């Protein structure tokens, strides 16, 4: 604005418009001085504004990077309560992102699903250790107690207007809901279940089946995939299952990248986050 006004002043002064110039030329000189002042000022304001905007953008990027790193570190805390599931949160988060993109979810939303999915089991920090490490089948009472982890996770993440934490809360609350309405905690069915919850449900079970646990051996890939297919339309959204089958090579590659060892998995996860330039500027 200052630049435009200055240029107009300069144009009028340089041409010496007769209506705006007295005989001795003082008015013309004054206009030239004002024009120069306004032009110089406009350039100074533009430079400072641009510099301030750049600094603001850098600060925003730093805050976004810190937020993402904190989210992933918090997810590792939940994994370290049970040293048999190292890398699980990160693997299913990457798998969920791949499936979401293949299903047509916008890239930015899929990125939020990735970062939010690492917190899907954050409520397990409130579960007793003996329950998380139990070798055998849960008793009905233990099962009811374990199912509370979704409510604890949702409670931990609620009350924020941040998009990432909002998606994380949705996933934490709904990733054990079933397509046929037989899941928990609210017995939601079909599209009542948010798409991010439906996607993570498939990824969560697939990775759990392929991993060794204190109560079971790891399944082979064929058996695990066959179970997912059999549960399509019952436990899982058929569209998600179909997409998972089409992206299976990518999901298997993630398992090969990220081992079950919690420390090694975290190092891999941290290194990838540092390389992800998109994360630094988009969240």
pLDDT tens readout for residues 198-246: 999 999 999 999 988 777 888 999 999 999 999 999 999 999 999 999 9
pLDDT tens readout for residues 2-20: 445 444 444 444 544 444 4
Peptide bond into 172 cis (omega under 30): no
Query: Which residues are designated catalytic?
Result: 124
The domain segmentation of the chain, as residue ranges, is: 74-282
pTM for the whole thing?
A: 0.75
What's the sign of the alpha-carbon dihedral 228, 230, 231, 233? positive
CATH number of 74-282: 1.10.3210.10
C-beta of residue 257 within 8 angstroms of C-beta of residue 82: no
Report the alpha-carbon distance of residue 109 to residue 105 in Å, rounded.
6
Nearest to 213 by CA among 85, 90, 118: 85
């Amino acid at each position: 604005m200052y630049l435009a006004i200055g240029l107009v002043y300069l144009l009028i002064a340089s041409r010496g418009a007769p209506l705006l110039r007295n005989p001795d030329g003082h008015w013309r000189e004054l206009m030239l001085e004002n024009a120069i002042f306004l032009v110089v000022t406009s350039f100074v304001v533009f430079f400072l504004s641009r510099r301030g905007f750049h600094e603001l953008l850098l600060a925003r990027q730093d805050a976004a990077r810190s937020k993402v790193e904190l989210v992933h570190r918090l997810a590792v805390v939940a994994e370290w309560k049970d040293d048999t599931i190292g890398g699980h949160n990160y693997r299913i988060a990457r798998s969920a992102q791949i499936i979401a993109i293949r299903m047509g979810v916008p890239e930015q939303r899929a990125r939020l699903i990735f970062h939010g999915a690492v917190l899907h089991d954050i409520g397990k920090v409130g579960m007793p250790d003996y329950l998380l490490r139990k070798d055998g089948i849960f008793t009905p009472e233990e099962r009811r107690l374990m199912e509370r982890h979704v409510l604890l996770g949702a409670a931990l993440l609620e009350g924020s207007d941040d998009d990432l934490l909002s998606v994380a809360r949705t996933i934490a609350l709904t990733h054990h809901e079933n397509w046929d309405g037989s899941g928990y905690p609210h017995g939601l069915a079909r599209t009542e279940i948010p798409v991010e919850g439906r996607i993570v449900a498939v990824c969560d079970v697939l990775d759990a089946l392929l991993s060794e646990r204190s109560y079971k051996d790891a399944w082979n890939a064929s058996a695990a995939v066959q179970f997912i297919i059999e549960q399509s339309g019952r436990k899982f959204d058929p569209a998600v299952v179909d997409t998972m089958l089409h992206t299976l090579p990518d999901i298997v590659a993630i398992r090969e990248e990220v081992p079950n060892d919690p420390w090694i998995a975290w190092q891999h996860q941290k290194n990838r986050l540092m390389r992800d330039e998109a994360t630094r500027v988009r969240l």
